[in-house]
Amino acid sequence: MKKLFLFVLLSFAAFQGAEAKKTQKLPKVDNIIYMIGDGMGLCHVSMLQIEGKYAPTSFDRAHNVALIKSYSTNNRVTDSAAAGTALATGFKTDNGTLGMTPDGEIVESIIAKASKSGFATGLVATCYLQHATPAAFYAHVKSRNESNKISFDFMESGIDVAFGGGRKIFEKAYKESGKNYVDLLKAEGYEVLFDQKEMDGVASGKVIGLFAEENLPTLKEGRGDYLARATEKALEILTADVRADKKKGFVMMVEGSQIDYRSHANDLEGMLAEMRDFDAAIKVAMDYADAHPNTLVVVCADHETSGLAIPSNKTDFTLPESGINYSFGTSSHTGVMLPVYLYGAGAETIKGIMENSELSVALQRLIKVAE
């Protein structure tokens, strides 16, 4: 009898706890800056810290941290399409699929839901805008290789600000129909930019910057501080649009796209340069959050690339300095868990170990667009 009473008591307490969690008042979050380091694992961040002689990085500013599992529904090692879909929509899917479940059901991203709910929206990337991660926030295709359909989906997305590459892919998509993609974008209300310098002359309104035929140049090729500048400009435009159009706030995704490319190539110097570039963009976002208190910055990755490890050069740790080495386990993706760094409003609500899809659901709840 005592055991039965104790079981009932514990069950009731658990039920009460769950109900309290459901009804717990969420902090006010108006803006989410969702930053994804493509291919970035914990060792990438550690390398950034080590090579900076442990001077504080933007990652060190985080108010909270969590871990996410990255596997897809059909593979223990995800690709960017499946991981991007999970992070964008809250649904896991098969590798190669964007914005759809494995059985073909269309699922909406946090950006699509936010737009319908009265938020402004934005995308910034160093790759072409039809690439897997940015496309996960607006496209619905069975295969990430359906570039024409992805371009058409962008045209239907209503995203307010988008900076990246992809001119050649837009041209290809509309060439067969005899339509001019620039005219179509202008008909959708976009100011269309082709030179990064043109960003300086834009302060509000719908804007798309197509700054390369496909991907933007690497840092070695002269990309410069584009990612930080584009992030800052997108935030300026979205903020102006929120004020002018009385939007609820905004949701913006920023991708450090080419961390992944340099990691696939096992290019240590290139990886470090891309990490420093991403760190500079994170600083812009966190500084914005400091000036706009209802803003949450979320920094994470879709998967880890290269199996980077940082072993000691010696096994005798009684010596004062052993030295380190950077070694690669693969030129592909890996299946490790990934860090999430949270800064600003609501950072304390996301913690622990979770699925990558659960992170998206948590963010959707914070801005009250979860279904």
Instruction: Give tens-digit pLDDT for 128-172.
Output: 999 999 999 999 999 999 999 999 999 999 999 999 999 999 999
Mean pLDDT (whole number) for 111-135: 98
* Domain total of the chain: 1
For position 4, what pLDDT does the model report? 41
How would you label 303-339 residue by residue, b for 16+ Cβ within 10 Å and e otherwise? bbbbbbeeeeeeeeeeeeeeeeebebeeeebbebbbb
**What tokens were used for 123?**
């995308």
Q: Averaged over 213-224, what is the pLDDT?
A: 96
Cβ contacts of 13 within 8 Å, gap of 6 or more: none
The owner of tokens 């920094």 is 299
Query: Is 27 inside any structural domain?
Result: no
Q: Burial level of 177, CB count in 10 A (0-12/13-18/19+)?
A: exposed
SS3 category, 347: helix
Within a domain: 1: no
Q: Domain of 173: which CATH number? A: 3.40.720.10
Average pLDDT value for residue range 75-98: 98
Residue 12 lies inside a defined structural domain of this protein: no
- For residue 19, being part of any structural domain is answered with no
pLDDT, one tens digit per residue, over 229-239 is 999 999 999 99
Report which residue type is found at 191. E
Check whether 37 has a pLDDT greater than 50: yes
Mean pLDDT, the chain, integer: 93
Per-residue pLDDT at 289: 98
- Express as a percent the part of the chain with pLDDT over 70: 94
What is the rounded end-to-end Cα distance, in angstroms, of the chain?
42
Per-state percent for the chain, helix, strand, coil, to nearest 5: 40, 20, 40
- Non-local CB neighbours of 114 within 8 Å, separated by 6+ positions: 121, 250, 251, 367, 369
Whether 217 is in a domain gets the answer: yes
Q: Which two tokens stand for residue 345?
A: 């409003």
pLDDT higher than 70, residue 216? yes
Can you tell me the distance from the alpha carbon of 139 to that of 251, in angstroms, rounded to the nearest whole number? 17
Among 82, 72, 89, residue whose Cα is nearest residue 364: 89
Q: Domain for residue 249, yes or no?
A: yes
Candidate from 13-17, 77-81, 155-159, 177-181 with smallest mean pLDDT: 13-17
Give the residue from 79, 28, 131, 11 showing the smallest Cα distance to 345: 28
Q: What is the mean pLDDT of residues 323-349?
A: 98
Q: Is 151 a catalytic residue?
A: no
pTM passes above 0.85: yes
Residue 21 lies in a domain: no
Read off the pLDDT of each residue in 13-39 and give the average, rounded to a whole number.
75
**Residue 319 structure tokens:** 């010596």
Question: According to the model, what pLDDT value does residue 3 have?
Answer: 43
Q: Which pLDDT belongs to residue 24? A: 64
Containing domain of residue 335, as a range?
47-256+272-312+322-352
Candidate ranges 13-17, 263-267, 316-320; pick with highest mean pLDDT? 263-267
Q: How confident is the model at residue 319 (pLDDT cuts 50, 70, 90)?
A: confident
Encode pLDDT of 357-368 as tens digits. 999 999 999 999
Q: Given a cut of 80, is residue 294 above it in pLDDT?
A: yes
User: Cα–Cα distances in Å, from 204 out to 53, 231, 239, 243, 315?
Assistant: 40, 14, 8, 10, 58
Of 83, 140, 133, nearest in space to 335 by CA: 83
Give the per-residue pLDDT at 15. Answer: 44
Q: Is the confidence at residue 22, as pLDDT, over 70?
A: no
Per-residue DSSP letter, 60 = G
On whether residue 28 sits in a domain, the answer given is: no
Can you tell me the distance from the alpha carbon of 160 to that of 28, in angstroms, rounded to the nearest whole number?
23
55 has a pLDDT exceeding 70: yes
CB 357 within 8 A of CB 86: yes
58, 70, 72, 80: the catalytic one is: 80
